[in-house]
């Protein structure tokens, strides 16, 4: 009795005939899944550092303006640039806004609101460039000494 074979012919390694192209699938998986996640992971520390610098600049500007007793936007901007560059940020990436009238005397026991905005860079994709950009604003309210006299 002869028995007919009903098996299909497979590759020599035992795979199925619908195995696909491993090299192409691997390259596509790396390019579409791993690369974007890696770029995001590499960008997160920079974003956190810039946010921390914005908070430091807001505190320092608030303390200085409150100590001086006069709302000086020029002095606040100069100090913000010095502190930001000491922390590795470019001067063009930082802007400062004071919540008081420029040149006005600050009342004893009051508060100086400060808002510092730092430009956050987007992802840097090799071969394409930067994608996306936004800004982060840190706010700080510095109390003015109650017992300070007018300047």
Predicted confidence (pLDDT) per residue in 73-102, tens digit: 999 999 999 999 999 999 999 999 999 999
- pLDDT band at residue 4 using 50, 70 and 90 as cut-offs: low
Could you tell me how far CA 133 lies from the centroid of its own chain?
9
Rounded distance between C-alpha atoms, residue 39 and residue 98, angstroms: 36
For 100-150, the pLDDT digits (tens) are 999 999 998 999 999 999 998 877 777 777 777 889 999 999 999 888 765
Is 6's pLDDT higher than 90?
Answer: no
- pTM value is 0.71
Name every residue whose Cβ is closer than 8 Å to that of residue 37 and which is 6 or more positions away in sequence.
Answer: none
Region 53-60 average pLDDT: 96
**pLDDT score of 151 more than 60:** no
Distance CA 1, CA 143 (A): 102
C-alpha 66/C-alpha 112 separation (Å) is 6
Cβ atoms of 61 and 73 closer than 8 Å: no
Distances (CA, A) of 1 to 4, 7, 37, 56: 10, 18, 62, 90
């Amino acid at each position: 009795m002869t028995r007919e074979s009903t098996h299909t012919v497979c590759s020599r390694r035992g795979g199925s005939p619908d195995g696909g192209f491993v090299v192409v699938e691997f390259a596509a998986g790396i390019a579409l899944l791993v690369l974007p996640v890696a770029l995001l992971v590499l960008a997160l520390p920079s974003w956190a550092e810039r946010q921390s610098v914005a908070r430091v600049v807001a505190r320092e500007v608030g303390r200085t303006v409150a100590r001086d007793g006069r709302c000086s936007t020029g002095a606040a901007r100069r100090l913000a640039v010095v502190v930001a560059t000491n922390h590795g940020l470019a001067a063009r990436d930082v802007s400062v806004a004071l919540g008081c009238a420029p040149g006005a005397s600050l009342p004893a026991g009051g508060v100086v609101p400060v808002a510092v905005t730092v430009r956050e860079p987007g992802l840097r994709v090799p071969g394409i460039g930067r994608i996306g950009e936004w800004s982060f604003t840190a706010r700080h309210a510095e109390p003015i000494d109650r017992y300070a006299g007018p300047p």
